[in-house]
Amino acid sequence: MKFLIRYHRREVTLRETLIRLFERSRSRGDPGSRWREEFWALRGINLAVQPGETVGVIGPNGSGKTTLLKTLAGILGADQGRVAVRGRVGCLLSFGVGFNPTLSGRENVYLNGSLLGLARRTIDARMDAIVEMSELGDFISAPVRTYSAGMRGRLGFAIAVHIDPDVLMLDEVLGVGDAAFRAKTGTILERFRRERKTVVIASHSMGLIRETCDRAVWLERGTIRLEGPPDEVVQAYLKTTEALGGGAARARRAQETDELRRRPIEARSLQRGAERFDDRSEARVRSVVEYYTLAQQRHLDEVRYRLGDALVKACSSPKDFLRLPGRLIALFFVGLRRRRERRRLEAPPAPRGSAPPGSEVFEKAPLAPHLGTGCDPRQTIFAAPPSGSRPRVAAILDEFSRACFAPECDLVTFRPDNWAHVLKTTGARLLLVESAWHGNDGAWQYRIASYGEHMGDEVLDLAACCTRNGVPTVFWNKEDPAHFDRFIRKAGVFDAVFTTDALCIPRYKEALGHGAVYALPFAAQPFLHNPLQREERRRQPCFAGAYYATRHEQRREDMHTLLRPAMRFGLDIYDRMHGAPPKERADFLFPEEYRPAVRGRLEYDDMVAAYKRYRVFLNVNSVVHSPTMFSRRVFELLACGTPVITTPSDGIANLLGANGVFVTHSEAETEAFLEKLLHDDDAWAEASALGIKKVLSEHTYAVRFAALCRAAGISMPEREDPLVSVTVAAEPGEDLGPVADCLRAQTYRRFEVHVFSDALPAAAEIDALRRKLGGAPVHHWPRTPAAQQSYRGFFDGAQGAIVCNLRAGFRYAEDYLADCVMFFRLPAVSMQGKACRFVADADGRIVPTGAECEHRMVRAAPSGTIAIVRPSLSPEALHTLLTHHTFTTPDDAIYSTYRYNCCEAPAQAAHAGGAPWTLRVRG
Amino acid sequence: MATIMRSIAELVSRWETIRFLVTSNLKAGHREKVLGHLWNLLDPLLFVAVYYVVFGLLFKQAERGQGTFVVYLAVGVLAWRFFDATVSQATLCIRANRGLIHEIRFPKAVFPVSVSLSRLYDFLWGLAVLLGIVLCTGFPLTAHVLWLLPLLVLNLVFAMGIAFFAAYLGAFFADTTNVAGVLLRLWMYASPTFYYARGEHALIPERFQGIYMMNPMACVLEGYRDALLWGRAPDPAMLLYMLAVSVTVLLAGFAVFTFGEGRFAKYI
C-alpha cells in the first residue's frame, strides 16, 4: 500500500492568485524560481495490517501520524498509490468536531451513524447503549452547542465504539486532554482485541503502545523509519528523542514542520525514500524553512507582488482605490529601475585590474593604524544612514558571523539552488564567503569545506558568475591554521582571500599563485558585545570551553596553569561538551580535580550574559604562534569589560597588547593576577576600561568590514567621524584658557565650540580661544538679554551630531571626546555621562566615586560629563546643562560610562600624583 | 464510467442519510422562530408581494399584463428562487460541514443533494401559495396543471446539476459564493422572471427569441406558465431540450464533484 498526501494551501486568496499570475507570466521556464513547491506529508509508505491486528503508530509531532490515519480511513484521498481497506472503518480522530451544533445529541447520533453507513433501525437499537456510555442522560435531547467539550468527546467516543466497525482508527494524540478517554481507551482496545477487530492507533503514550499493540510503526517526516515489535521500536524511538534533547528537540521539530505547513505556499523537498534520517536531511528541512522565509520577504518587495497588492487593496478600500493610479505610476518606475539594474548585472564583464587598490597597505600591516581610528558611526542612533547607502553583500556565513556582519552591511543570503535567482533580483556589490560549516543556516553544509563525501560545487559557479559580472569576491577562512586544507580548493576561485592566521598567508600565496591574501582577525560586534551592565559581577573567575583529554597536550598543560590556581578562587567552568553522548564524552572529560567546578554548558546567547557575570575570565590558546589568530572570545570578553587571564599567544600580544589581558606563564603568576583582579577594585576597573577602549576603538566588525571592502576595491561611502558640538558656559570674568588647553589637547579633532556667556561678549576672550584652537569653528552665544534666543541660535547653528558639554571645575583628558564618540557606538545609547568618576576628596586626593553606576543606565550625572546625540537634546535640557551642576532625566536614560578621562577637581589637584584618572590605551 | 456508477450506487444507498439531512435541515431552519413553520407560507407570499409592488406597480408591468401579471410574476419569482437558493447554498455546503468531512468517510454528494431537496420542499410550499393566488385571481385551472410534475422534476435535475458544480468550486475557492451571487443575479435578468419575454408585450425582440430560449431556466419558467397560467401544454421541443440539458448537466456535475471529492479534506 503506497500513498502520499499533498498538502495544499489552506486558503486561496485573491492576492496570491494575482501574484501567481504575474509570476507565471514572467518567469516561465526559469527553474531557479520555484515559488510553489509541494509538501509530502506522507511518502513511500508500505503498510499491510492483518485482520485482528493492533498496530501502533508513533513519531514526533508533525511526522504524519494523523495524516496516515486519515488516509487509511479514506478521509483524505491518496495523491499517488492505493489504499485498500476491507470492512467498515470507525474513526476517532478528533472529538465531536463533526457534530452539527444546532441539532440535538440524539439527532447527531443519527446523522453520524447514517453517514457511517448504519441503517436507521440499527441506530435505534444501539441508541440506548450510546446514551448510557456517553453518560449524557436527558441531555441527549439538548442541542449539541450546549454541551461541554467533555460531553461532546464522550458522545463521539460512544458513537465510534457502537457503530461496530471492522477497523478502528484511533488518534490518541488529539484526545490528550480528555481524562475520561484515557481511562476508557485501554478497556475498549481490550474488547476489540477479543473480538478480533483491527485497530490502528496513533499515540504519544509509549506505555499504551507497548501494552496493547502487536506491532509498532515509527513515522518520521512522512516515511516509515522503523517497523516491528512494539518494544524494539519504542526503545529505538525513545533513544533518538533523548539523544536529540528529548522534549526540546521534539518541540523544535514540531515547530519547524508546523511552519512548513503554515506556509501559504506548498512545500516539497521532504521526499526521502529509504534514506536514513541524519543531520543532512535535518539541515535540508531547515533550509526549506529558511528559503520560504527569504522568499516571502523578498517577494514583499518585488514589483509583481506590489502590483498585485495594490490591485487587491484598491478593491478593498476606497482610499486605496484613489491611490491606485499613483501607485501604478510609482511601480512602473520602480520596475524600470530594477530592470536597468538587472541588465547591468547581466552585462558582460568589465576588464578587471590586477590588485584592488589599498590592498598593499593592508597586506604589509595587517592592522594598519588607519583602520583603527573608529568605526562607522552608522551603527549608532546618532547617524544611522538609510539602509540603501550600506553596501549590499551577498554572503555565505555561519550563523554567528552573520549576526556580526549584519549591522555593517546589507546582507543577502541564499541557498545552493537559488543563488542565481536571488542575486539576479537583488544584486550585490561584494560576495563574501566564509569557511562556513553550516553556511546560511545549513543550506551550504558540506559545500564549502571539502570532504571525502562530495556534496556539490555550487560555490565555484557562484564565484565565477560574480567575477563575470564584475562583483568582487572574497573568501574568509576563519578556521586557519587548523583547516587550511579543507578550504583551499574553494578559496582558489576567489579574488581575494582573508585568513585569521597571518602565518598562513605564504601558504595561500604559494597554493593560489596570486598575492591577494590578507589577514583578517576576529573582532567584537558592539551590538552583541558591549559593557552595558545589568547584574552584579561575581568575585569569581570563570572558564568556558572544552577540555581535550586525548589531544593537544600543550593546551592541557596550559590549562592546568590557569585552572589549578583558579580553583582556590571559586572557579566556575562551563564545559562546551557537557551533555554530549557518552561515547564522545570520554575524550573531553575534565579531570577529577576540576569536576566540582563544572556548571554545565551554555548556549551562545547565555554565554554573552555570562561574560558580564564574572570579574575575570580565563582563556587558553590552542594556537600559540600565530600573530593574528586567537579565540574570538577574547575580543568579545574585552568588549564586555571583562579582563582576561590568558596563556601566552603571539596574537594577543600583537593585537591587544596589555589592555585588559594578562598573560600568565606559571601557576604563581596566575594566582597573582587573580588576587589582583578579584580583590583590587581599582586595578580591575582599569583593566576592564582598557579592554573596552582597545577593542571598541580598534577591533570591531565595522573596522573589519571596512578592511574587507578596501581590499576588494569597493569604495565605501566615505566614513566620517561624527562632528561634535562642544558647549561651554563661560562664567562672568572667567578665563577661557583652561577650556582652550583642554580642547587643543584632544585626540579627536572633529569638533566645533559653542560658548555661552552671561556677561556682555568679551570679544578678546573669544578671539583668544579661536587663535588657540586653530581651525575649529568657535561660536559665541550671549545669553543676555534673552537666554532662549541664544539657545535658538545654537539649535539653528550647531552642526554636530553629538553635543558634548564641558564645565568649569572639571578636567578632561585628551581622549575625552574620542571616548564620547566611542560609547555612542553601543546600541541604544543616546545620552552618556559619568555618574561614576574621579573627584577630589577632603584631603585633596583624587578618588573614584559612584563605582556602582559604572556601565549602567542612570537617572542623573554631572552636567560637565554629559554628551547627548543631537536629536535627544531639547532647549530645556541645554539650559540645565549650562546652568546646573547635575543633569537629571525622568527615567534611566543616561549611560554611565567608565570613570576615566574626566575628573571633578581643581586644576592643581587633578594633576597631582601623575593623574590616575586618565586612561590611554597601551602599546 | 464505472466509478461514476459506483458512486451513484453508493449515494443511493445513503438515501436515509439524505432524508435525515433534509429533515434536520428543515427542522433547524425554523426551530427558534416565533412564527415557526408559518414562514413556509409567508415567505413566498411576501416575496411575491415585494416584486409585485416594485415591478408591477412602479414599473407598470401590471398594466400590460391585464390582470395576468400577478400570476406571471409569482411563477417566475418563486421558481427562480428555488434555483437561486439551491445554487448559492450549494457553494457553502462543503465548507459548512468541514468537521464531518474531516472525521468520517462518506459520499460528499449527500450535501448538494440534500440542499437541492430542502429547497425543493420550500418550493412546494411556494407552489401551494401559487395555486392559491391562481384561484384567488379567478384563473381557471385546467388539466394541464399536471404538467407541473414533470416540469418540477426537470427543474430539480437541472438545479442539482448546477449545485454539484457550485459545491465543487465552493470547496476549493471560498470566493465562489460571491461570484455565484453575481452570476445568479445576471442569470435572473436574462430569464423571464418579472418581465414579459414572449407574446404581445415581449421585451425581447423576435429575432433574439431563439437565443433567449436556449436558457434552460427560461424554458422552465415558460413551461410552468403554460401549465398554470395559459392552460396549455408546454412546447414538446422545449421539454425535450430541457430534458437533454438537465440530464447532461447533472451527470457532468456529479462526475466533476466525484472526481474532486477525495481532495476536499485537504482544502477545507
Q: Do A98 and B267 touch (CB under 8 A)?
A: no
Please tell me the distance in Å from B125's CA to the nearest CA on chain A: 24
Q: Are B215 and B246 in contact (CB under 8 A)?
A: no
- What is the distance in angstroms between the Cα of A20 and the nearest Cα belonging to chain B? 15
User: With contact defined as beta carbons under 8 Å apart, do B209 and B196 qualify?
Assistant: no
Say whether residue A102 is in contact with chain B using an 8 A CB cutoff.
yes
B262 touches chain A (CB under 8 A): yes
Instruction: Name the amino acid, one letter, at A389.
Output: S
A808: alpha, beta or left, given left = phi > 0 and alpha = psi -120 to 50?
Answer: beta
Least confident of A17-26, A214-223, A611-620, A857-866: A17-26
CB-CB contact of B158 with B249 (8 Å): yes
CA distances B82 to A338, A478, A875, B33, B249, Å, are 55, 76, 76, 21, 17
Look up residue A70 and give its amino acid: K
Find the mean pLDDT for residues A269-287.
33
A838-894 pLDDT per residue, tens: 888 777 788 888 888 899 999 899 999 999 988 888 888 898 888 888 998 888 889
CA–CA dist A592, A170 (Å, integer): 52
Among A92-96, A429-433, B7-11, where is mean pLDDT lowest?
A92-96
Mean pLDDT score of chain A, rounded to an integer? 77
* A120–B265 C-beta distance less than 8 A: no
H or E stretch covering A716? none
| pLDDT at A630 > cutoff 50 | yes
Strands A802-806 and A867-869: antiparallel
* DSSP of A852-875: GGTTEEESEEEGGG-EEEGGG--H
Lookup result for grid cell 541524519: A278
Look at A103 and B28 and tell me if their CB atoms are within 8 Å. Answer: yes
- Residues in chain A with CB shorter than 8 Å from the CB of B21 are 111
Parallel, antiparallel, or unpaired: how do β-strands A778-782 and A837-840 relate? unpaired
For the segment A608-612, the average pLDDT, to the nearest whole number, is 88
Q: Which residue has the cell 543577502?
A: A412
C-alpha A217/C-alpha A57 separation (Å) is 5
Report the C-alpha gap between A255 and A920 in whole angstroms: 51
Beta-bridge partner residues of A832: A867, A895
Chosen from B16, B26, B103 to mutate, greatest number of chain A CBs within 10 A = B103
How many CA atoms within 13 Å lie on the side-chain side of A425? 21
| B contact residues 88-107, partner A, Cβ 8 Å cutoff | 99-106
DSSP assignments along A767-818, one per residue: HHHHHHHTTS-EEEEE-SS-HHHHHHHHHHH---SEEEEE-TT-EE-TTHHH
Give the pLDDT of residue A868. 93
Given A76, A91, A111, which is nearest B24 (Cβ)?
Answer: A111
Contacts 24+ apart (CB under 8 A), B196-204: B196/B61, B196/B64, B196/B65, B196/B72, B197/B222, B198/B222, B201/B64, B201/B65
Query: Higher confidence at residue A389 or residue A849?
Result: A849
The dihedral built from the CA positions of residue A377, A380, A385 and A387, taken in this order, carries a sign that is positive
Taking a contact as any Cβ pair under 8 Å apart, which residues of chain B between 30 and 49 contact chain A?
Answer: 31
Residues of A in contact with B175 (CB under 8 A): 14
Among B20, B100, B267, the residue with its CB nearest the CB of A98 is: B100
B26, closest residue in chain A (CA to CA): A103
Grid coordinates belonging to A403? 549576526
Report the first-to-last Cα separation within chain A, whole angstroms: 75
Over the stretch A192-208, which tens digit does the pLDDT of each residue have? 777 888 888 888 778 77
- Each residue of B183-209: pLDDT tens digit? 999 999 999 988 888 877 788 888 888
Phi/psi region, residue A660 (left: phi>0; alpha: psi -120 to 50; beta: rest), is left
Q: What is the dihedral of CA B219, B224, B229, B230, to 10 degrees?
A: 50
Alpha-carbon distance of A810 to A739, in angstroms, equals 10
Grid coordinates belonging to B161: 446539476
Give chain A's length. 923
A116 at the B interface (CB within 8 A)?
yes
Choose the closest CB to B266 out of A7, A102, A107: A7
DSSP-based helix, strand, coil % in chain B, nearest 5: 80, 0, 20
A775: cell is 581651525
CA A18 to chain centre: 34
Q: What is the pLDDT of residue A455?
A: 65
The yes-or-no verdict on residue A616 having pLDDT over 90 is: yes
pLDDT in tens, A35-81: 444 567 787 788 888 888 888 998 887 788 888 888 888 888 777 77
Question: Could you give the count of Cα atoms lying within 13 Å of A513 in the half-sphere of its Cβ?
Answer: 3
Q: Are A123 and A113 in contact (CB under 8 A)?
A: yes
For residue A361, name the pLDDT band (cuts at 50, 70, 90): very low
Cβ pair A370, A703 in contact under 8 A: no
pLDDT at A270 over 60: no
Interface test with B, best of A17, A75, A124, A171 (most B CBs within 10 A): A75
* pLDDT band at residue A21 using 50, 70 and 90 as cut-offs: low
Which residues of chain A does B94 touch, with a Cβ-Cβ cutoff of 8 Å?
none
Residues with Cβ within 8 Å of residue A133, at least 6 apart in sequence: A154, A157, A158, A161, A162
Strand, coil or helix: what is A228? Answer: strand
Inform me whether the pLDDT recorded for A301 exceeds 50: yes
Inter-chain Cβ pairs, chain A and chain B, closer than 8 A: 79
| Chain B residue with the nearest C-alpha to that of A90 | B104
Eight-class DSSP state of A524: B
Instruction: Say whether residue A117 is in contact with chain B using an 8 A CB cutoff.
Output: yes
Identity of the residue in B14, B175, B267 whose CB atom sits nearest the CB atom of A8: B267
pLDDT value, residue A272: 28
Chain B touched by A315 (CB under 8 Å):
no
Question: Are B266 and A115 an interchain contact pair (Cβ–Cβ within 8 Å)?
Answer: no
Alpha-carbon distances of B9 from A726, B4, B5, B239, rounded to whole Å: 93, 9, 6, 28
C-alpha to C-alpha distance for A86 and A90, rounded to whole angstroms: 12
CA–CA separation, B261 and A77 (whole Å)? 8
B265 inside 8 A of chain A by CB: yes
Alpha-carbon span A765 to A781, nearest angstrom: 13
What is the reported pLDDT for A608? Answer: 85
Statement: residue B77 has pLDDT above 90: yes
Of B13, B14, B263, which is closest to A77 when you measure between CB atoms? B263
Contact of A813 with A900, CB cutoff 8 Å: yes
Q: What is the mean pLDDT of residues A160-188?
A: 67
The answer, yes or no, to whether residue A493 has pLDDT greater than 70, is yes
Note the pLDDT tens digit of each residue in A202-248. 887 787 788 888 899 988 888 888 888 888 888 888 887 765 544 54
- When CB atoms are compared, the residue of B100, B102, B172 closest to A115 is B100
CB contact under 8 A, B172 and A12: yes
Q: Do A75 and B103 touch (CB under 8 A)?
A: yes
* A486 vs A467: CA distance, rounded Å: 23
Contacts of A91 in chain B (CB under 8 A): 103-105
* A106-140 per-position pLDDT tens digit: 888 888 888 877 888 888 888 988 888 888 888 88
pLDDT at residue A562 is higher than 50: yes
Q: What is the 3-state secondary structure (H, E, C) of B95-139?
A: HHCHHHHHHCCCCCCHHHHHHHHHHHHHHHHHHHHHHHHHHHCCC
Judge whether A487 and A506 are in contact, CB under 8 Å: no
Model confidence at A271, pLDDT cuts 50, 70, 90, reads: very low
Task: Mark yes or no for CB contact A76/B266 under 8 Å.
Answer: yes
Residue A599 near chain B (CB below 8 Å):
no
Per-residue model confidence as pLDDT tens digits over A474-483: 999 988 888 8
Give residue A762's pLDDT band: very low, low, confident or very high (50, 70, 90). Answer: low
Chain A CA closest to residue B24: A103
Identify the helix (H) or strand (E) that includes residue A646.
Answer: strand A644-646
What share of chain A has pLDDT > 70, as a percent? 79
Contact B174 A74 (CB under 8 A): no
- Rounded-to-integer distance, Cα A305 and Cα A298, Å: 10
Write down the pLDDT at residue A862: 92
Minimum distance, in Å, between the CA of residue B171 and any CA atom of chain A: 10
pLDDT at A16: 59
Please give the torsion angle defined by the CA atoms of residues A464, A467, A472 and A478, in that order, rounded to the nearest 10 degrees: 10
Residue of B nearest to A108 (CA): B24
Task: Compare CB distances from A114 to B17, B103, B105 and report the shortest one's residue.
Answer: B17
Q: What is the mean pLDDT of residues A609-617?
A: 91
For the record, the C-alpha cell of A316 comes out as: 478593498
Alpha-carbon dihedral B43, B48, B54, B58, rounded to 10 degrees: -140
For A661, the enclosing helix (H) or strand (E) is strand A661-663
Query: Pick from A569, A575, A568, A572: which is nearest to A590 by CA?
Result: A575
C-alpha cell, A508:
595561500
Task: Check: CB of residue A780 under 8 Å from CB of residue A753.
Answer: no
Question: Chain A neighbours among B 208-227 (CB < 8 Å)?
Answer: none
- CB-nearest partner of A14 from B24, B175, B265: B175
ipTM of the complex: 0.82
Task: Give the mean pLDDT of chain B.
Answer: 89
Q: How confident is the model at residue A586 (pLDDT cuts 50, 70, 90)?
A: confident
Q: A614-619 and A644-646: which strand pairing?
A: parallel
A75 to chain B, any CB pair closer than 8 A? The answer is yes
Q: Is the pLDDT of residue A258 over 50?
A: no
Contacts of B110 in chain A (CB under 8 A): 115
* Residues of B whose CB is below 8 A from A8: 263, 266-267
Quick one: three-class SS letters along A114-180?
A: HHCCCCHHHHHHHHHHHHHHHCCHHHHHCEHHHCCHHHHHHHHHHHHHHCCCCEEEEEHHHHCCCHH
Closest by Cβ to A12, choosing from B24, B101, B173: B173
How many residues make up chain B in this entry?
268
| C-alpha to C-alpha distance for A262 and A370, rounded to whole angstroms | 51
Beta bridge partners of A849: A837
Cβ contact, residue pair B104, A75, below 8 Å = yes
Please choose, from the candidates A454, A404, A455, the residue with its C-alpha nearest in 3D space to the C-alpha of residue A432: A404
